[in-house]
Amino acid sequence: MKVLVSDEFSPQGLEILQKAKGVEVDVKTGLSPDELRKIIGTYDALIIRSASKVTADVIEAATNLKVIGRAGVGVDNVDVPAASKKGIVVMNTPGGNSMAAAEHTIALMFSIARSVPQAAVTMWDKKWEKKRFMGMEVFGKTLGVIGIGNIGGIVADRGLGLKMKVIAFDPFITPEVAAQKGIEMVSLDELFARSDFITVHVPKTKETENIIDAKAISKMKDGVMIINCARGGIIDEKALADACRSGKVRAAAVDVFTKEPTTPDNPLLGIENIVCTPHLGAATSEAQENVAVEIAHQIVAYLTEGTVRNAVNVPSVDAQVLATLGPFLNLGQKMGGFFAQTCPFPLKELVIEYRGEVTAYNVAPISSAILVGVLKSHMDEQVNDVNAPFIAKERGITFKEVKVTETADFTSLVTLKAEAGGKSHVIAGTLFGKKEPRLVAVNEYLIEAIPTGNILLVDTLDKPGVIGNIGAALGKKEINIGDMQFGRDKKGGKSLCILHVDAIPTKDVLDELGRLPHVNSVKLVQL
């Protein structure tokens, strides 16, 4: 497996990669997107920081690439949708530099509260301007934190330690959980109105882009102070510059910018009450070593074990969970393939029901495996756990998961259901002995079949001689039956015969079987 490291990387991280069995490492830094595109085709993994730009063109040229690892939190420099569509896992290291970024936020808060950088500059010029730099204490002030994830949570904790009143906006944190940490959850508008200091700690998305703009600033206290150590573009740079010039915002501190490196025309530069630093949030020796070591371990684990950790575009599955879920993933893919090949109508919506002990796990990887099985049955292009949801969406296939903790006849049961035009198609599967996949129901028929190999589904009437006729017909064509299962709705009613055969029957053989007495239809499934 070949790994390309295209940005500056800690020696400790490189050592982990170099010692991994079967892993070959190249370090080539300072590559332009075009240069990266020209060489990426030979690599299985790519490790980057913030300098390398992994564009859609680069990903298109990455014919062997399986995983991209970002030594840091944000993945703004990676076209994640393009990677996902191609089946490439994108990982980051959300915790490795959290402390460094949080501490830099606190450092910038003190810097603007006490005008530390501006005062230092005057001292470098051998001036003594003590009266010019009247500061503000943070004690007793209200700190508004937008986003209390890894970094925002540390900032909030440090604010509480400084005896500040901490309020926060985060739609993914319940008030009860926040209250246990001493944080008051409020609406975004209330946070704007009450805060003396406002700091943002959210990723840049369509929802968070310019979350602080001129309209938001107009809702804030006069003399508010604003800090951004998260991502450029979360705060409208021109609006912030205008507010600092007018005095509406007393001071601001910005570590991240819409365009990096900054250009001379950036509106935030050169304003006395704005402190700017060149993206130093994670720039500590400890943080750089942490994220390098972390991403190196993640890449090695993925390439050698298939373990997924801290992925932004696929459910994370560590080795321990994978050992438990592995048989379910196999079952899911087999069931998906069986379902797609036997469904009598175009699939538009798939309902995946999990019942019993399996509901205790994160079932998202199983659902992805089911989609892989469904799509592989009808497609020649590469399909895997990463790109399956994207490909399904492109083809107008939606799916939903349902969990039912109560058990029936099996400790765990996975059921696939679809409906269209008054028709329905249902199959159910489980594990025997916690490892062996079995189909246990096909529509109204209860069966016990191994979902693998060449399978014939023969829809018949429950009449004497039917099975004998099928066996005789296959025997004449020298097609051996390896296994057979039989289910019926009632005595003398309808029945389903499932045959595992050693050879693939031709269309003529299938047609001949379909003409046998009491045979309604014959379907070949290949798994």
For 240-278, how does the pLDDT look when each residue is reduced to its tens digit (9 = 90+)? 999 999 999 999 999 999 999 999 999 999 999 999 999
The answer as to whether 243 is a domain residue is yes
pTM of the model: 0.63
- Judge whether 201 counts as a catalytic residue: no
Residue 464 structural domain: 453-527
The answer as to whether 242 is a domain residue is yes
Q: Report how many domains make up the chain.
A: 4
d(CA 506, CA 475): 14
Structure tokens of 383?
């399909």
Let me know the angle formed at the C-alpha of 110 by 104 and 113, rounded to the nearest 5 degrees: 140
Picking from 7-11, 141-145, 419-423, which range would have the lowest pLDDT averaged per residue? 419-423
d(CA 409, CA 339): 21
Q: Give residue 319's pLDDT.
A: 67
Please state, rounded to an integer, the average pLDDT across all residues of the chain. Answer: 91
Q: Give residue 168's pLDDT.
A: 96
Annotated catalytic residue, options 49, 231, 297, 500: 231
88 close to 59: Cβ distance less than 8 angstroms: yes
507 close to 318: Cβ distance less than 8 angstroms: no
Query: Which residues does residue 501 pair with via DSSP β-bridges, in sequence order?
Result: 454, 481
Annotated catalytic residue, options 279, 425, 438, 500: 279
Strands (E), 71-119: 89-91
Q: Give residue 376's pLDDT.
A: 80
The answer as to whether 257 is a domain residue is yes
- Judge whether 231 counts as a catalytic residue: yes
Q: Give residue 347's pLDDT.
A: 85
Residues 437, 479 within the same domain: no
More confident site: 363 or 376? 363
Q: Give residue 29's pLDDT.
A: 95
Structure tokens of 14?
């490189």
Q: What is the tens place of the pLDDT at every residue in 425-462?
A: 999 999 998 788 999 999 989 989 999 899 999 999 98
448 close to 422: Cβ distance less than 8 angstroms: no
Residues 149, 263 within the same domain: yes
Query: At which of 410, 445, 480 does a domain end?
Result: 445
Residues 300, 229 within the same domain: no
d(CA 441, CA 430): 10
**With the C-alpha atoms ordered 57, 60, 61, 67, is the resulting torsion angle positive or negative?**
positive
The answer as to whether 310 is a domain residue is no
Structure tokens of 389?
């949801």
At 277, which amino acid appears?
A: T
Residue 225's CATH number: 3.40.50.720
Residues 296, 339 within the same domain: no
d(CA 215, CA 360): 45
Annotated catalytic residue, options 190, 260, 289, 357: 260
Residues 139, 195 within the same domain: yes
Range picked from 64-78, 219-233, 361-375 for highest mean pLDDT: 219-233
CA distances from 347 to 332, 350, 436 (A): 17, 7, 27
Residues 40, 127 within the same domain: no
Picking from 89-93, 94-98, 198-202, 366-370, which range would have the lowest pLDDT averaged per residue? 94-98
Question: Distance of alpha carbon 471 from its chain centroid, rounded?
Answer: 49
Residues 401, 320 within the same domain: yes
Percentage above 70 pLDDT, the chain: 97
The residue whose two tokens read 């998305």 is 205
Tell me the pairing of strands 423-432 and 436-442: antiparallel
Residues 149, 264 within the same domain: yes
> 261: cis peptide before it, omega within 30°?
yes
Residues 362, 499 within the same domain: no
Phi/psi of residue 430, nearest 5 degrees: -155, -175
d(CA 187, CA 194): 11
Percentage above 90 pLDDT, the chain: 63
CB atoms within 10 A of CB 503: 12
Q: Reply yes or no on whether the pLDDT at 381 is more than 60.
A: no
The answer as to whether 200 is a domain residue is yes
Query: At which of 400, 423, 445 does a domain end?
Result: 445
d(CA 77, CA 55): 8
Range picked from 162-166, 365-369, 435-439, 493-497 for highest mean pLDDT: 162-166
Phi/psi of residue 175, nearest 5 degrees: -60, -35
320: pLDDT confidence band, cut at 50, 70 and 90? low
Question: Would you mind telling me the total number of residues written for the chain in this entry?
Answer: 527
Residue 461's CATH number: 3.30.70.260
CA distances from 312 to 13, 91, 154, 372, 437 (A): 21, 6, 22, 19, 30
Render 286-302 in DSSP notation, one character per residue. HHHHHHHHHHHHHHHHH
d(CA 64, CA 45): 8
Query: At which of 255, 276, 297 does a domain end?
Result: 276
d(CA 440, CA 427): 8
The answer as to whether 59 is a domain residue is yes
The residue-averaged pLDDT of 148-155 equals 91
Structure tokens of 229?
């150590």
Q: How far apart are the first and last CA of the chain?
A: 29
The answer as to whether 181 is a domain residue is yes
**With the C-alpha atoms ordered 199, 205, 207, 209, is the resulting torsion angle positive or negative?**
positive
List of residues 6+ apart from 227 with CB closer than 8 A = 105, 108, 109, 112, 197, 198, 199, 200, 252, 253, 254
Residue 375's CATH number: 3.30.1330.90
Residues 67, 119 within the same domain: no
Residues 102, 79 within the same domain: no
Tell me the pairing of strands 2-5 and 24-27: parallel
At 402, which amino acid appears?
A: V
Residues 508, 480 within the same domain: yes
The answer as to whether 439 is a domain residue is yes
Strands (E), 339-476: 349-356, 398-404, 412-420, 423-432, 436-442, 445-449, 454-461
Q: Reply yes or no on whether the pLDDT at 380 is more than 60.
A: no
